Amino acid sequence: MAAAVALALASTGVVATGDGEYGLPDIGSSAAAALSPSEQAEYGAETLRELRHYGLVLEDPLLEDWISGLGYRVVAAGERPEQPFTFFLLNFREVNAWATLGGYIAMNAGLVLEADSEDEVAAVLSHEVAHVTQQHILRSVEKAKQEALPIALGMLGAVLAAQSGGGHGDATQAALVSGLALIQQRRINYTRTSEQEADRVGIRTLARAGFDPMAMADFFQAMQRLTRGEGANVPEYLRTHPLTTSRISEAKDRARSIRAEGVAGNARIVPDGLENPLLPQRWKVPVDAAPAAGADRDRRLPFLMARERLRVLSAGSPALALGFYPEVNSRDPVLAVAQSYGRALAQTRAGKAAAAIAVLTRLAESLPDDDWIQLALADAEHRDGKVALAEARYERLLRNRPQNRAVILAYAQALNERGGREAGERAVAALRPLLDRGGDDLTLQRSFARASELAGDSIRAGEAHAEAAYLSGRPQDALNQLERIKEQPLDYYQRARIDARIAAMTPTVLERERRGLKPGQEDRPRVSFGIGAQ
């Protein structure tokens, strides 16, 4: 299936040609002018919306904040910290990651599960960030500006064509993700030169961000080991990022050179002025030469817990997730904490909340300030019927972390599930600070829509439902909902707000219609999106 999709994608004409086998455009290239920043951002946003439309994005506030924090720590140490980026996780166990226009960077759950450390995940992010900052993507679309925005739907049309030929369910979704990763990598026109440049820039950025520069070579070697043995499958990452022995050796040599330049023992030298004062404290670069007591646990635990959370959330079912944890007996105390956390999450999802509470209570006694454990405990209490206890825990977390997105969304979800006007009003009040920061957040819009319904505000609920539809890749549906709201009595400000959103969404709907997708047919599988379909 993936091979068929890749062939269909190639037939769309979106594979850019390079200047020679290994050549890149000259320094004087007009690549930066090939697409405006807004066009680049729209292409990336449309790609994300389409992936959401097919249910491929892993929507979890804790994991979203973790991967974004890790990504922006790399970006802050890079060559273009002003470049906007969006990092997101895909709900697939295949090992892969890719970047596209607008600084949108996707990582499969499988890559995090395969990594041995946060440094290795950061190494992959640093490599993909380098492809964006070095303008490898822009260089590849310079000769194909007119096709830049339609490519995402053209790719999906090819996948649906493959589906109509016999592909079903998970196989087609896997083809979609692997095919999209392949086409994004081909758009960058990966050559030996561009890969070497991304490695070189990425390794140095990795070190400047306070990570181990050897982590990139370590991850490359881990990928290479997966191909050994009879019947071994080649990871998707190696299909889109070909490895050679010389490439791994060069990555090791660069890392050794960087270590020799700026690292003494375990101390990492951070250049003056690199620290970004706007970054949250947990994202800032570690500079202490001598680790404090418990520093190893504090450094490793966030990654290990994120990995276990991903293991549970990306499992095919709660029963499968619970099967990953027959028992926790690791001799590594930090890993044991993370595995206990994962087991408790799996128990909660499998309807065994009381058992999860017992595990999480013990963890909370040793780590009382850990938000992930406290949120998991509140969720387990809520599912076990201890509603008042759970809400009191959420409220304590909210008092201590009034701006924390994951805490706010978890609390609002619990209130929405309880139901009733009073709960809805409390959820609306909790969610408003997030809306003020920006509404381009699918989980937030869905939660705010439900809270507004409970609170009796049908206008705000309708607007939020429309925003959620738009962010989920259903712009015509969003537009229809906004038009229906306008039929109700509105004040001046409500009408102006809705008219502004209709004006902003209309170009996307018109572009879809131009490509052959008629209004009202967004949820129906179609073979042709107007590009590349046979």
Over residues 66-117, the pLDDT tens digits come to 999 999 999 999 888 888 999 999 998 889 998 888 999 999 999 999 999 9
Q: Which pTM does this prediction carry?
A: 0.81
pLDDT at 23: 34
In this structure, the answer to whether residues 145 and 250 fall within a common structural domain is yes
Confidence of residue 525 (pLDDT cuts 50, 70, 90): very low
Cα(217)–Cα(292) distance, rounded to whole angstroms? 28
Domain end point (choices 235, 260, 285): 260
Confidence of residue 25 (pLDDT cuts 50, 70, 90): very low
Residues 51-63: what's their mean pLDDT? 93
Over residues 422-456, the pLDDT tens digits come to 999 999 999 999 998 887 899 999 999 999 999 99
Residue 318 has pLDDT above 80, yes or no: yes
Over residues 265-296, the pLDDT tens digits come to 333 444 434 444 444 444 444 433 334 445 56
- Establish if 95 belongs to a structural domain: yes
In this structure, the answer to whether residues 394 and 496 fall within a common structural domain is yes
In this structure, the answer to whether residues 254 and 304 fall within a common structural domain is no
- Establish if 393 belongs to a structural domain: yes
Residue 504 has pLDDT above 60, yes or no: yes
- How many C-beta neighbours within 10 Å does residue 26 have? 9
Nearest to 186 by CA among 364, 11, 375, 426: 11
Residue 22 has pLDDT above 80, yes or no: no
Residues 374-403: what's their mean pLDDT? 96
In this structure, the answer to whether residues 178 and 313 fall within a common structural domain is no
Residue 214 has pLDDT above 80, yes or no: yes
- Establish if 325 belongs to a structural domain: yes
CATH of residue 352's domain is 1.25.40.10
In this structure, the answer to whether residues 380 and 465 fall within a common structural domain is yes
In this structure, the answer to whether residues 196 and 345 fall within a common structural domain is no
In this structure, the answer to whether residues 321 and 367 fall within a common structural domain is yes
Confidence of residue 192 (pLDDT cuts 50, 70, 90): low
On whether the CB atoms of residues 436 and 405 are closer than 8 A, the answer is no
In this structure, the answer to whether residues 332 and 474 fall within a common structural domain is yes
Q: Which two tokens stand for residue 437?
A: 């920061």
What is the total count of domains within the chain?
Answer: 2
Over residues 137-175, the pLDDT tens digits come to 777 665 455 444 455 455 555 544 444 444 445 655 665
In this structure, the answer to whether residues 157 and 55 fall within a common structural domain is yes
In this structure, the answer to whether residues 147 and 208 fall within a common structural domain is yes
- Establish if 508 belongs to a structural domain: yes
Q: Which two tokens stand for residue 115?
A: 């990594």
pLDDT at 517: 57
Report the share of the chain in percent with pLDDT over 70. Answer: 72
Residue 20 has pLDDT above 70, yes or no: no
- Establish if 307 belongs to a structural domain: yes
- Establish if 524 belongs to a structural domain: no
In this structure, the answer to whether residues 235 and 320 fall within a common structural domain is no
- Establish if 293 belongs to a structural domain: no
In this structure, the answer to whether residues 232 and 154 fall within a common structural domain is yes
Q: Note down the domain range covering 112.
A: 27-260
SS3 letters across 77-126: CCCCCCCCCEEEEECCCCCCEEEEHHHEEEEEHHHHHHCCCHHHHHHHHH
- Establish if 283 belongs to a structural domain: no
Cα(428)–Cα(143) distance, rounded to whole angstroms? 48
Confidence of residue 516 (pLDDT cuts 50, 70, 90): low
